[in-house]
Structures are given as structure tokens and as C-alpha cells.
Amino acid sequence: MTLQPSTIDKLSKLFPRLASDHDGEVVATARAIVRTLEAAGSSLHDLGAAMTPKTVQTIVYREKAVYRDRPATPEAKPQPEYIAMSSDRTIRLAKILLAENHLKERQEKFVQHMLKAAALSKNKFPVTVKQWKRWQSILVDNDVFEEEA
């Protein structure tokens, strides 16, 4: 049950009297608090529930706060754009890159992934713009061009 502002105002005047050094005054104040709550149609249990803080679980994930007490709003993720790559050309360039063996471990794994994707497709296969840029970057970094393929 929600306590009314007028009841809270009355209780705020009574609570400081609980700190008295006189036991009789403390007991009288406690009884006055109970009477005030009963007059408002509440109890000490309602007061305790009103005083309990509402917990909000906050999780920070990659610098974004997620509040668990709010319903998640679906965010429209932008669909990645795709670029069609030639299977034959990708296979030729991937073999050159792997044969030179100057690739870093992550680059080598990426080139092997592209080689497998190209081998599974017949003519052209789709890659995301991010994959295409990474592929081009590896080609430029290793000085592999179309003429060599």
C-alpha cells in the first residue's frame, strides 16, 4: 500500500523522538507511529515496504548500461551491405597470399576462411563490406595484385 504524503509528513515529525534517552518517550512515540499508520489504513509492514529501496540491476556491457527493470526496446540493427566477390579470383589471390607465408596468424585464418568460402561457391559469393575492406587491406599490405593472379 502506498503511504499518502500527509501520513509521511506526520511520521517524519515522530521519528526523531525515537532517539530520546527516556524509554517512556520512545515507547509513546512508537505507539503514536502505529496509531498514525492505522489511521491511514496502513501498518508497520507497509511502512517497511515503502522504506525498502527498489533495486535496479545495472549491468554495464561495453560502455552501455542495461537496466533490468525496464523492458528491452528492440533496436533496429542496420543490415550489413554485401559485395559479390569472384570465386576464381579470390581462390587465386588466397593461394598467393598463403604461399608467400608473410601473414600474421589472424590474417592467415581470415585468408583461409575466404578460400573456403570461395571454394564452396560456384561463381560469386557474398561478403560483408567489412570483410571486403579487410581482404583489400591484406592484399595491399602484401603487395598482391590482380596481375599476379
The SS3 assignment for 132 reads helix
Rounded to an integer, what distance in angstroms lies between the CA atom of residue 139 and that of residue 141? 6
Q: CA-CA distance, 137 to 144, in Å (whole number)?
A: 10
Predicted pLDDT of residue 109? 93
Q: Please, are residues 46 and 3 in contact by the beta-carbon 8 Å criterion?
A: yes
Taking the C-alpha atoms of residue 33 and residue 15, their distance in angstroms, rounded to an integer, is 8
pLDDT in tens, the chain (149 residues): 677 888 888 988 998 999 999 999 999 999 999 999 899 888 888 888 777 776 666 666 666 655 566 555 666 677 778 888 999 999 999 999 998 768 888 999 999 999 999 999 888 889 988 999 999 998 888 888 765 44
What pLDDT does 64 receive?
65
Q: Where are the beta strands (DSSP E) in 10-142?
A: 58-61, 64-67, 82-86, 124-128
Ramachandran class of 55: left when φ > 0, alpha when ψ lies in -120 to 50, beta otherwise: beta
Give the whole-angstrom CA distance, residue 133 versus residue 91: 17
Instruction: Say what the pTM is.
Output: 0.46
Under 8 Å between Cβ of 117 and 125: yes
Q: Are 8 and 33 in contact (CB under 8 A)?
A: no
- Treating both helix axes as pointing N-terminal to C-terminal, what angle do 129-141 and 87-100 enclose, rounded to 10 degrees? 40
For residue 52, what pLDDT is reported?
74
